Amino acid sequence: MSLNIFITGAAQGIGAATAQLFVKHGFKVGIYDKNIAQATTLAEQLGQNAHAGFLDVSDETSWKNALNDFIEWAGELNILINNAGILFSGAFENTALDQHLRTIDINVKGVLIGCHSAFEYLKKARFARIINLSSASAIYGQADLASYSASKFAVRGLTEALDVEWQKYGIRVLDVMPLFVQTAMVKDMDAASIQKIGVNLSPQDVAEQIFKLAKSPNHLLTPTHTPIGLKTKVLYQLSALSPQIINRLTNLYFSKRA
């Protein structure tokens, strides 16, 4: 079944790798990003099944314009991938307040506005799904990544709520939860956890999991959350099975600087 995919923050990193994978398998892909020049270059490289457009995910009007543009090109929206995100690292008190607020604007408001704006199109589609980019940071709050972690907890909560609420419309709302991924986002990141855990995932690793979720049957056996990578799966299971004090001590270890 050929589907139409709308990806935010798709000009580079995980978004670009995801766009490339879907186009490779014959899907029509909307590549939306604030960096319209980079998005256009990627779409031209990928060919006629790719379409570039401008999107500021924190702005409702921008969302409406981008979705209208996509529908005019593709005809139908089947899968929305809320990938756009930013990260500021370092001690909470040493991070400028406007950076904390910008994180919420992009990572939380961007996903919330996107889900709300896309609903009218998804409820009419023959197959409808939202896949949000959450994070292993949504398993337990991460030191030196406080606002980023909080933003991903919000994505996790929104995903869970809408996956239940929109079941009546046949819309699954899922998320993926990778650990640190080899993208520009984690370059020069100031957090002890990245030094101890390392960066072991590539954008392609995440893209492949998103692709699997996009094709999975629309039934309850498809999990709402999908941890990506062995370390994330271990942390996810540990959080579910162990007492809270164990989870806190584990994260204290990862956050302790050498």
- pLDDT (tens digit per residue) in 86-137: 999 899 999 999 999 999 999 999 999 999 999 999 999 999 999 999 998 8
In this prediction the pTM is 0.87
Q: Which residues pair with 129 in a beta bridge?
A: 79, 172
pLDDT tens digits for range 42-72? 999 999 999 999 999 999 999 999 999 999 9
Spatial neighbors of 30 by CB under 8 A, at least 6 apart, are 4, 5, 6, 7, 10, 50, 51, 52, 53, 66, 70, 73, 74
Distance CA 26, CA 3 (A): 9
In the annotation, is 32 catalytic?
Answer: no
Name which of 37-41, 78-82, 139-143, 182-186 the model is least confident about. Answer: 182-186
Which pLDDT belongs to residue 196? 44
Pairwise CA distance, residues 255 & 195, whole Å: 9
| Structure tokens that stand for 208 in this block | 């492949």
pLDDT at 199: 47
pLDDT in the model for residue 179: 78
Confidence tier at 198 by pLDDT (50, 70, 90): very low
For the chain, give every domain's residue range: 4-255
> Which has the closest alpha carbon to 224: 141, 163, 169?
163
Highest mean pLDDT among 128-132, 229-233, 250-254: 128-132
Find the range with the poorest average confidence among 1-5, 33-37, 104-108, 245-249: 245-249
Q: Which two tokens stand for residue 121?
A: 């199109």
First to last CA, the chain: 51
251 pLDDT above the threshold of 50: no
Q: Determine how many CB atoms are found less than 10 A away from the CB of residue 248.
A: 12
* Upper half-sphere CA count for residue 211 (Cβ side, 13 Å): 22
* Per-residue confidence (pLDDT) for residue 180, from 0 to 100: 59
Q: Can you give the pLDDT at residue 1? A: 67
Which range of 57-66, 220-229, 248-257 scores highest in mean pLDDT? It is: 57-66
pLDDT value at position 190? 46
What is the structure's pLDDT at 194? 46
User: What pLDDT shows up at residue 171?
Assistant: 95
Mean pLDDT, rounded, for 137-157: 92
Two structure tokens written together for 23: 């186009």
Residue 217: the pLDDT is: 77
Give me 175's structure tokens.
């998320």
Mean pLDDT of 201-228: 87
Q: Examine the pLDDT at 18 and tell me if it is beyond 90.
A: yes
Q: Which residues contact 28 (CB under 8 A, 6 or more apart)?
A: 2, 3, 4, 5, 49, 50, 51, 73, 74
At 240, is the pLDDT very low, low, confident or very high (cuts 50, 70, 90)?
low
Q: Which of 32, 121, 140, 148 is catalytic?
A: 148
- The values of phi and psi at residue 210, to 5°, are -60, -40
Give the mean pLDDT of the chain. Answer: 87
CATH of 4-255, one of 3.40.50.12280, 3.40.50.720, 3.40.190.10, 3.40.1030.10: 3.40.50.720
Q: What are phi and psi of 87, to 5 degrees?
A: -145, 130
